[in-house]
Structure 1
């Protein structure tokens, strides 16, 4: 079956258009509508928001489980920082992501299990159970 009747003999049976020089291709082949065809989907804001939320949720991780040794090491580091070097960088788990914050230790509330830090924007509270690393 001859696919390209107007092309030279070497390209008559070629089915892959990428292997045919441009001058032998039909210039009237439609190129499509590009991104115009997707525009109606952006008119449904709820669906658009939901798709964006799905994208964000794909990057979320589960809360890391720390061993007893790791918890003891975090506790020792926190005590050392409290009494000798109150400047601290804390990495903690929040809503599917690991966040980092740097500041000065204000106090550690052992009853409510909360670390109070002074940082650039004010006082921050971090749940001790969410801390994964202290530097």
Structure 2
């Protein structure tokens, strides 16, 4: 007699397409709407961005992308308020990221 060992039971794994569909449904449930900022909040973020740019301090950036609010730590390299974009270098991979100012939710000095 041979022991079969422990078998894992996966009742809903019979069709691989189910995983794709379930993953899409779960991701849609986790999505949030982009927060609407007041004029005062946008002005405060602008001052913080300019201060971080001139003093070369790190900041925590919270931005909205594909239904999620993402927070990263990095250095501000360039701000163009007329062109509605800024460039920051993230702390982890040290990559330059161009981003629209309209995607920005919050900026805090580290």
| TM-score w.r.t. length of structure 2 | 0.77
Give the aligned CA root-mean-square deviation in angstroms.
Answer: 1.9
SS in 1 for 2:105: strand
Extract structure 1 runs of 4+ deviating beyond 4 A.
none
Q: Quick check: which one's helix share is greater?
A: 1
Give me the whole-angstrom Cα distance separating, in 2, the residues matched to 1:45 and 1:87.
Answer: 44
Structure 2 residue runs of 5 or longer lacking an equivalent are 1-7
Q: Does 1:131 align with 2:104?
A: yes
Q: Select 1:43's aligned residue among 14, 25, 29.
A: 14
Q: Provide the aligned length of Structure 1 versus Structure 2.
A: 99
Give me the whole-angstrom Cα distance separating, in 2, the residues matched to 1:111 and 1:70.
Answer: 18
What do residues 15-65 of structure 1 show as CA deviations (whole Å, max 9, x unaligned)?
Answer: xxxxxxxxxxxxxxxxxxxx85x63x4222222211111112111110000
2:73 aligns with 102
* Greater relative CO (CA pairs within 8 A, separation 6+): 2
| TM-score w.r.t. length of structure 1 | 0.64
Give me the whole-angstrom Cα distance separating, in 1, the residues matched to 2:78 and 2:49.
Answer: 11
